[in-house]
């Protein structure tokens, strides 16, 4: 089994990149929750409401 990263397949690199990006996003969100819990909750509720509103609009359009 090879341990060199230069010859890893594109699929492996894609998975590693996805894990690195999701880890970085999780770290940032965790720090925001730790430092500004109230404001972070407000933003999360706003995002959730806008997503739900978008789902409702798409259901109306498909009917």
The reply to whether 2 falls in a domain is no
Rounded to whole angstroms, the Cα distance separating 22 from 14 reads: 12
19-52 residue pLDDT tens:
999 999 999 999 999 999 999 999 999 999 999 9
Handedness of CA 28, 10, 15, 44 (dihedral sign): positive
Indicate the number of domains in the chain: 1
Whether 56 and 63 have beta carbons less than 8 Å apart is answered as no
The model's pTM: 0.62
Would residue 49 count as lying in a domain? yes
Give the Cβ contact number of residue 50 at 10 Å: 10
Q: What pLDDT is attached to residue 39?
A: 95
User: Tokens 């706003």 map to which residue?
Assistant: 46
Residue 40 structural domain? 10-62
Please check whether residue 3 lies inside any domain of the structure: no
């Amino acid at each position: 089994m090879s341990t060199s990263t230069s010859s890893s397949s594109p699929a492996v690199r894609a998975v590693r990149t996805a894990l690195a990006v999701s880890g970085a996003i999780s770290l940032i969100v965790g720090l925001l929750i730790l430092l500004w819990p109230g404001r972070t909750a407000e933003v999360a509720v706003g995002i959730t409401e806008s997503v739900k509103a978008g789902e409702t609009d798409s259901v109306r359009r498909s009917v």
